[in-house]
Structure 1
C-alpha cells in the first residue's frame, strides 16, 4: 500500500546512531498472497491465526536481534502449530438489579471477547436464543435497552456465553437465569420521526427561579420551557423601561 511504502522510505531519514529506527515487515512475515482468497496464516485473510501470530512475533524478534542487538537469538518460528482450543466460560452470575440483566463470569485465558445469547423465559417456555450484537469485550454483559427496549421489570431472562478468539469459539456455557428488577435509568423509547432511541424523562419540578413564573423542568423540554418563560419576562421588562427625556 502507498502508506507502507512511504513509511519504509521515510524511516532511514529518522534513524540516528543514538536513536535507531528500523522497520519490521509484517507483510513479508505473514506470507499472504494479496490475489488469493485465503491465507494459511490468517483466519479471514487479514487477522492472524495461531501460525500468523508466531510469524508476527518472529518478524519483531528478528529485527530486535539482528538490527538492534537485543537478545541472544531471534525467535524460531515453527512450520506449523496445533489447533488451539478455548475453555468454556463457567460460574456465570446473574444480577437482576441496576441494569436489570447483568451477567458476569471469570475471565477465560486467551479469549479476545465473548459471544452472548439471551432469551426471555417468563412463561417457562424455551423460546429461540437472541444473539447480542455487539457481544462482550470483557467478562461482563448487560442487556442493553437501547437495542432491545428490555428488560421488563418482573420478567425472567436466561443468558449463555461462549469465549471467542478470532474464528476460534468455545462451546456455549450452561445458561444462567434470573428475574429483572431494573433500578437504573428509565427505559429508552423510539420517538416519532427519529431513527434512534432516546431516554424518555418525566418532567421533574425544580426550585422556582426569581422573577420567572413556573418551575424549571429538567430535560431538554424543560430547558425550552424555561427559556420561553424567561424570554417573555425580559420582553415585558424591556417594555416597562421609561424613555429618557
Structure 2
C-alpha cells in the first residue's frame, strides 16, 4: 500500500485553478495530472513500468455538441424531459418557461434527464445544452425550444389531512389517502428540513402505512414537513404539513395583530412573532352574515 500525492501534482487553489473547470473538479489537463500522480506511485513504489509519461502539452478539447433527440412526455411529478447522452459530457443546462412567458429559468443536471415539477394543466417548453465548464467555449449552443407540452403528473398526488405533532426527539405524523388514486399507492415518503442548521439538506423516510414517528432530530429546531405518495410511476408532488419545533411545547399567542384593507376582497395582516411558534394559522369570520370563525388551510411561517 502506498499514498498517491495527487494534490502535489494538481494546481488548484482559492486564487487560481488552471487544472479545474469549476474551481475544484479537474478539467482535461487536471485529469491527466491526477493520472500522472498515480503512475508515479506505481513506478516508484511498486516497480510497475519504467517511466512516467509526461502530461501532453496540448490537451484536446472535450467534445461539446448540441444535444439531440430531446423528448418531453408526462412524468411522475408533471413532465419528463430526456435527450441523447453526449459522450464525456460533465453535465447539461436545462432552460424552461411557461408557454407565453418571456422569462426563462435555468438549472443544471448531471444526466440526460430532467423532471419538471408542475400541477396538471400548465404548458411548458424547454431547451437543453451541453455544459463542460465555465467558459463559453465549454458550452454548446441551445437546442431549439421544444413544442409546448401540458403537464400531466403520472404519480399520485400528495395525501390529505396531514397532522404533525412535535415530540421530545422528533415528531409524530399521520395522513389520509389522497382519494381515487389511493388504490395504486404502495408507500409514502415523509420529507423534513431543518430550518435552524445552516446548509441542512432535505431528509426523507419511506413509510408503508399512513403514520410514522420520526426521531433523532435537533432539540428546539424548526422543521418544515411534506408527505409524498408513491406508486409504480414514482413519487408525486409533495403535500405540505404544518411545521414543528422539536420539544417546543405550546407556543405563546401572537400579539400586535394589525389589518390593512387592500381592496374590496383582500386584506393584509401582520403580527409579532410568538415565542416557540413553528408557524401560524389565521381564523376568519364574516360579521355581516353572522358566520362563525373558520381556519385558513394556508401554512404560514412568517409573521404576515
TM bucket normalised to smaller: 0.5 to 0.7
Given that 1:62 and 1:74 are in contact with CA atoms closer than 8 Å, whether structure 2 keeps it comes out as: yes
Given that 1:160 and 1:172 are in contact with CA atoms closer than 8 Å, whether structure 2 keeps it comes out as: yes
Equivalent position SS for 2:46: coil
CA distance in 2, matches of 1:45, 1:79: 21
Given that 1:89 and 1:173 are in contact with CA atoms closer than 8 Å, whether structure 2 keeps it comes out as: yes
From the superposition, tell whether residues 56 and 103 of structure 1 become closer, same or farther in structure 2 (CA, over 3 Å): same
CA distance in 2, matches of 1:141, 1:156: 16
Equivalent position SS for 2:59: coil
**Larger strand proportion of the pair:** 2
From the superposition, tell whether residues 155 and 58 of structure 1 become closer, same or farther in structure 2 (CA, over 3 Å): same
Residue aligning to 1:41: 19
CA distance in 2, matches of 1:70, 1:47: 28
List aligned pairs for 1:221-232, cutoff 5 A. Answer: none
CA distance in 2, matches of 1:41, 1:200: 54
Q: 2:85 aligns with which of 107, 110, 130?
A: 107
Residue aligning to 2:110: 137
CA distance in 2, matches of 1:68, 1:51: 25
Given that 1:186 and 1:200 are in contact with CA atoms closer than 8 Å, whether structure 2 keeps it comes out as: no
Equivalent position SS for 1:165: coil
Residue aligning to 1:26: 6
List aligned pairs for 1:57-96, cutoff 5 A. Answer: 57-71=35-49, 73-96=51-74
Spell out structure 1 runs of 4+ moving beyond 3 A. 82-85, 199-206, 218-221
Q: Could you give the per-residue CA deviations for residues 180-213 of structure 1, whole angstroms, max 9, x where no partner exists?
A: 2222121599x999xxxxx98536899xxxxxxx
Q: 1:161 aligns with which of 85, 108, 128?
A: 128
| Number of aligned residue pairs | 173
Given that 1:85 and 1:170 are in contact with CA atoms closer than 8 Å, whether structure 2 keeps it comes out as: no
Equivalent position SS for 2:131: strand
CA distance in 2, matches of 1:59, 1:184: 48
- 2:141 is equivalent to residue 176 of structure 1: no
Q: CA deviation at 1:165?
A: 2.7
Q: CA deviation at 1:59?
A: 0.8
Return the TM-score normalized by structure 2.
Answer: 0.48
Q: Could you give the per-residue CA deviations for residues 147-188 of structure 1, whole angstroms, max 9, x where no partner exists?
A: xxx2x3233211111222343322222222322222212159
CA distance in 2, matches of 1:73, 1:28: 18
Gaps of 5+ in 2: 165-174, 184-208, 213-304
CA distance in 1, matches of 2:11, 2:23: 11
Given that 1:162 and 1:170 are in contact with CA atoms closer than 8 Å, whether structure 2 keeps it comes out as: yes
* Greater RCO (CA < 8 Å, at least 6 residues apart): 1
Given that 1:113 and 1:163 are in contact with CA atoms closer than 8 Å, whether structure 2 keeps it comes out as: yes
Return the TM-score normalized by structure 1.
Answer: 0.58
CA distance in 1, matches of 2:163, 2:132: 40
Bigger Cα Rg: 1
Q: 1:219 aligns with which of 188, 210, 225?
A: 210
CA distance in 2, matches of 1:92, 1:188: 33
From the superposition, tell whether residues 202 and 31 of structure 1 become closer, same or farther in structure 2 (CA, over 3 Å): closer
CA distance in 1, matches of 2:97, 2:5: 47
CA distance in 1, matches of 2:176, 2:95: 27
Q: CA deviation at 1:43?
A: 3.3
Q: Could you give the per-residue CA deviations for residues 8-35 of structure 1, whole angstroms, max 9, x where no partner exists?
A: xxxxxxxxxxxxx112111211144x5x
**Larger helix proportion of the pair:** 1
CA distance in 2, matches of 1:66, 1:131: 48
